[in-house]
Amino acid sequence: MFQGVYTALVTPFRADGTVDYDCLRALVGRQCEAGVAGIVPVGTTGESPSLSYEEHIKVIETVVEACGVGKVCCKDRPMVIAGTGANSTSEALELTQQAKAVGADATLQVTPYYNKPSQEGLYRHFMEVAEKGGLPVVLYNVPGRTSKEIAVDTVARLAPHERIVAVKEAAGSVDRVSQIRDVCDITVLSGDDALTLPMMSVGASGVISVAANVIPKVMVELVAAALAGHWDAARTLHMCYYRVMTGFFLDTNPVPVKTALALLGLCEEVFRLPLCPMETSLRERLHAILEKSGVI
């Protein structure tokens, strides 16, 4: 059910800082045309911490609606995995229920951040969302942002629940994929574009991708090749675009990828504080990478 490329979509803003819903629809349309398996709105890349509750739900609803129109029929439209995690279980649950009400297909649940719960607390948190949220749950392990890892044993405890369907691994460890696959059969998705190919070589089923905002067709082709066992073709694409994938982390995500979209004329280069535009030197490095790779 969960394999392929799922784009961690940016949230575009107008010059005045308001959400640009027309631009958002256009970005979704571009993803649909590229054939991605799904779209992940209001995750890390979607600047979710900077959105109000009302904006959060409206962005999800807009993405759901945009996925069901145009050239992509409802039957074949990309899955919408809404970012509805929080460090308050009640808030995560409420956001998840609202996402379901506006048509999301699943939820991405980040590890609760800042309050540093125990592994038992994490287990109870995710189980509460799975039991009462009403949507399939993709766990999101990203200790670099949350300061807390979902232990492999905790993933194994959660995996038997019928609504806990996958885990996004963004800890920078290929070995975590092997460890998880060794103790349970939950689907693993890479949370790092540059590790997509290595992770798929040991059992991951795809990627929740930042790079797909800019190069969706490339990421779709890379993952499709790996799923088909065409490793040479996948490796060639990986090496051709490796610097692009890593270039999107020259600064805090999503600043570089949104800058790249702006350079392509696909959105405004606007962020909400505390995020801000890239320093000139970093922006020039990113531009050079995109030029050399043929992206621009």
CATH code assigned at 117: 3.20.20.70
Helix (H, G, I), strand (E, B) or coil at 219: helix
Whether 271 is covered by a domain: the verdict is: no
Residue 73: its pLDDT value, please? 41
Instruction: Using the Cα atoms of residue 114, residue 116, residue 184 and residue 142 in order, give the sign of their dihedral.
Output: positive
Bridge partners of 169? 141, 190
The CA distances from residue 171 to 54, 199, 212, 234, 265, in Å, are 30, 12, 19, 22, 32
Q: Distance of CA 74 to CAs 32, 65, 137, Å?
A: 11, 10, 22
Residue 116 confidence (pLDDT)? 94
In a domain, 113, yes or no: yes
Could you give the 3-state DSSP secondary structure of residue 39?
strand
In a domain, 107, yes or no: yes
Q: 87: domain range?
A: 4-228
The per-residue pLDDT for 72 is 41
Residue 128 maps to a domain: yes
Domains: count for the chain: 1
Tell me whether residue 288 is in a domain: no
Task: Transcribe 158-195 into DSSP letters.
Answer: HTTSTTEEEEEE-SS-HHHHHHHHHH---EEEES-GGG
How high is the pLDDT of residue 119? 98
> What pLDDT sits at residue 71?
40
Q: Which two tokens stand for residue 256?
A: 């570089």
Q: Is residue 247 part of a domain?
A: no
pLDDT at 218: 98
Residue 91 in any domain: the answer is: yes
Q: Which parts of the chain have pLDDT scores under 50?
A: 69-74
- Which positions are catalytic? 140, 168
- What pLDDT does 68 receive? 81
Residue tagged 């779209």 (tokens): 39
Question: Does residue 14 lie in a domain region?
Answer: yes
Query: pTM for the full model?
Result: 0.95
